[in-house]
């Protein structure tokens, strides 16, 4: 079989879904390769900074590694801005969704919220709310996100 027999999912049978599952397993196994390709695309993305988004991502991961962070944190630091490519207005949520199956909740939450935490440094210059992060005060991972932004991002 080269493709499923159905044109509507409700019409699929066991053979169709077993066929698709095999393809999905193979596709999922290459997720890392696709993410590495996306990282390379960050080298051609948003301009104006002293370094490219790829350079920034490598810099963040290196800072985490030098601080003795574990693999989940290093991967999260490396991929925290991967959403800049396809979701510039919610890049943090996009990146967190990508990371969610692979890293612990603490890291996913920090990546998802780091955009709000970064506003502390710039939003007041643009008429925005530099204290957007305050709505997360008291959250279990608030201090982790603060440290992530201050030390690695």
What angle (nearest 5°) sits at the alpha carbon of residue 11, between those of residues 15 and 18? Answer: 20
Tokens in use for 121? 């440094």
133 assigned to some structural domain: yes
Range of the domain at 146: 11-152
Chain segment 5-50, per-residue pLDDT in tens: 999 999 999 999 999 999 999 999 999 999 999 999 998 877 788 9
Distance CA 14, CA 59 (A): 47
2 assigned to some structural domain: no
| CA distances in angstroms from 115 to 2, 12, 45, 119, 127, listed in the order given | 43, 42, 17, 7, 16
Chain segment 99-124, per-residue pLDDT in tens: 999 999 999 999 999 999 999 999 99
Looking at the 3D structure of the chain, how many domains does it have? 1
Distance CA 133, CA 130 (A): 8
What pLDDT was estimated at residue 46? 73
Instruction: Tell me what the mean pLDDT of segment 53-79 comes to.
Output: 97
What pLDDT was estimated at residue 148? 98
pTM of the model: 0.91
Helix (H/G/I), strand (E/B), else coil: 52? coil
44 assigned to some structural domain: yes
Decide if pLDDT at 147 tops 90: yes
CATH number at residue 126: 1.10.3210.10
130 assigned to some structural domain: yes
């Amino acid at each position: 079989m080269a493709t499923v027999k159905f044109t509507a999912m409700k019409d699929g049978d066991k053979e169709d879904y077993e066929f698709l599952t095999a393809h999905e397993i193979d596709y999922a196994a290459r997720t890392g390769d696709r993410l590495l390709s996306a990282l390379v695309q960050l080298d051609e993305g948003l301009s104006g900074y002293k370094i490219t988004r790829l350079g920034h991502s490598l810099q963040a991961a290196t800072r985490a590694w030098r601080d003795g962070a574990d693999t989940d944190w290093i991967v999260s630091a490396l991929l925290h801005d991967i959403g800049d490519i396809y979701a510039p207005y919610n890049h943090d949520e996009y990146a967190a969704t990508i990371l969610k199956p692979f890293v612990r909740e603490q890291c996913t939450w920090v990546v998802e919220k780091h955009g709000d935490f970064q506003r502390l440094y710039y939003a007041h210059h643009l008429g925005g709310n530099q204290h957007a992060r305050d709505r997360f005060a008291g959250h279990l991972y608030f201090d982790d996100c603060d440290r992530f932004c201050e030390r690695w991002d």
